[in-house]
């Protein structure tokens, strides 16, 4: 079987392709962070389990304040560039390009730019089913 043979196509692939280039950024103070950050919502939910996909840009010293999500969603942070200090359920660790951080349902997390350059992350929020809340890979 060739890769992709199992996927039933419902429409042109272009409908599912998005680019960060040319996005309009908004300035917000995310979850009580100490400074404003910029973000561009690339995908907003219209159907399926993905609620949104954002490109977030944190200037030096800016942060996404520690916050706790409900148990009906989880987030992935994908670090594109820069250096950050991630807080995840009370534990802190440094992150950089290529790191993928899973913020589990009901978990508490925050992120601060600790570098001299912008910290760029892709944030993907998806719905979570209560039966999927068990620990695992």
Residue 83 lies in a domain: yes
Residue 6 lies in a domain: no
The boundaries of the domain holding residue 28 are 23-95
Residue 107 lies in a domain: no
Identify the band that residue 5 occupies on the pLDDT scale cut at 50, 70 and 90.
very low
Average the pLDDT over 73-99 and give the result: 96
Residue 64 lies in a domain: yes
pTM: 0.72
Q: Half-sphere exposure of residue 130, counting CA atoms within 13 Å on the CB side?
A: 0
Residue 118 lies in a domain: no
Distances in Å between the Cα of 106 and the Cα atoms of 2, 17, 97, 111 are 38, 30, 26, 17
Total domain count, the chain: 1
DSSP code for 54: E
- Judged by DSSP in three states, 71 sits in coil
User: Which phi and psi (to 5°) does residue 14 adopt?
Assistant: -60, -25
pLDDT value at 85 more than 70: yes
pLDDT digits (tens, 9 = 90+) for 39-49: 777 777 766 78
pLDDT of residue 134: 53
Highest mean pLDDT among 6-10, 37-41, 127-131: 37-41
Pick the more confident residue, 26 or 85.
Answer: 85
pLDDT value at 1 more than 80: no
Mean pLDDT of the chain: 81
């Amino acid at each position: 079987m060739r890769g992709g043979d199992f996927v039933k196509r419902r429409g042109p692939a272009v409908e599912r392709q998005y680019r960060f280039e040319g996005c309009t950024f908004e300035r917000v103070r995310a979850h009580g962070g100490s400074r404003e950050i910029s973000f561009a919502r690339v995908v907003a939910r219209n159907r399926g389990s993905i609620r949104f996909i954002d490109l977030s840009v944190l200037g030096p010293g800016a942060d996404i304040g520690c916050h706790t999500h409900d148990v009906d969603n989880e987030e992935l942070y994908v670090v594109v560039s820069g250096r950050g200090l991630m807080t995840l359920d009370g534990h802190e660790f440094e992150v950089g390009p290529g790191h993928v951080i899973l913020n589990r349902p009901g978990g508490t997390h925050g992120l601060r730019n600790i570098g001299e350059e912008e910290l760029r992350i892709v944030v993907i929020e998806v719905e979570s089913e209560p039966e999927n809340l068990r620990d695992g890979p």
